[in-house]
Amino acid sequence: MMSKKKSLLLVLTLFISMIIFLPLDAKAAHRVKGDIFIGIDEGVEFKYQVITPATDNTLGTVSIIGIADDSRQLKITDSVVPFSSLYVSKNYSNERFKIVSIAPSAFKSNTNITHVDFESESYITTIPKNCFAGCKSLQTIYLPTIKKIDDSAFEGCSKLRVIFSCYKLKTIGKNAFKNCKKLSNVFIDSKLKSVGKNAFKNTAKWFLVNTKYRKNCVLIRKTRGKRKVRFCAPQKPAEVI
């Protein structure tokens, strides 16, 4: 006969085992709105926050809220599969998410980033406020899908020299490139409609603006000491006030 003490110990052991292994046998869950996870996109570990949950049959949507490693070159594509979750107690199903936005200040003051490339299949169309502000090592950016650069998005990126592939860019917010002291080349199309106050304040004295196919290159000399500075995009000049 088994003693009461041994019986109690056996029951307790079985109970603990059930608690430990129950999540593995339970039905896989889906991340909900607001959940945060880490995913790898082109070798970079980004932090994402769920906007719209994924289901077994449909993609969810997420926003990039930061970076989880010390990568220097960022490539942002169209979708991501979660690598790990900050809520590890749940057994999540296999999910996939569209990357549709970036949070304001997501990379602010990151001194590791040197290059940023939004690939042509990306769903992101806006660089939000302060997104890359103070990224003092940033040198080049590729923005083929971006329609709007918000206020102070790249302010204080002191090593930024060139902006490539702004084919869809329509709006540049105030202070967007303020104090980007080495910025001298912007490859932009003629869709640009508005440029905010001080958007290019304290950038290079001479400013080269190019169209998509490098035709009609225009060399602009910024006039200092005047409240109004002419910033010329091909065909349709915009005014920096």
Give the DSSP per-residue string, 55-97. -SSS-EEEEEEEESS--SEEEE-SEE-EEEES-TTS-BPP--E
221 in the same domain as 138: yes
What tokens were used for 24? 């593995």
* 133 and 97 fall within a common domain: no
Residues 6+ apart with CB under 8 A from 232: 209, 218, 220, 238
Same domain, 198 and 233: yes
The answer as to whether 23 is a domain residue is no
In terms of domains, do 54 and 128 share one? no
Residue 6 lies in a domain: no
Q: Is there a domain that residue 9 lies in?
A: no
Same domain, 35 and 109: no
Among 67, 83, 102, the domain boundary falls at 102
Provide the pLDDT for residue 151: 97
For position 164, what pLDDT does the model report? Answer: 83
State the Cα–Cα distance between residues 68 and 47, nearest whole angstrom. 6
**Domain total in the chain:** 2
Whether 3 is in a domain gets the answer no
177 & 116 share domain = yes
Indicate whether 92 and 132 sit together in one domain.
no
Distance CA 59, CA 54 (A): 5
Give the distance from CA 238 to its chain's centroid: 27
In a domain, 8, yes or no: no
169 in the same domain as 158: yes
Residue 13: the pLDDT is 60
- Domain of residue 77, residue span: 28-102
pLDDT tens digits, one per residue of 98-135: 999 999 999 999 999 999 999 989 999 999 999 999 99
Distance (Å) of CA 35 to CA 67, 69, 226: 16, 19, 49
Tokens of 132: 């890359």
> How open is the CA angle 24-28-31, to the nearest 5 degrees?
125
Q: E strand or H helix at 4, and its extent?
A: helix 4-25
Q: Is residue 7 part of a domain?
A: no
Same domain for 87 and 129? no
List of the chain residues with pLDDT < 70: 1-28, 84-93, 189-190, 205-241
For residues 172 and 234, membership in a common domain is answered with yes
Residue 21 lies inside a defined structural domain of this protein: no
Domain boundary (74, 102, 130) is at 102
Whether 65 and 140 share a structural domain: no
- Our CA angle for 28, 32, 101, nearest 5°, is 125
pTM to 2 decimals? 0.74
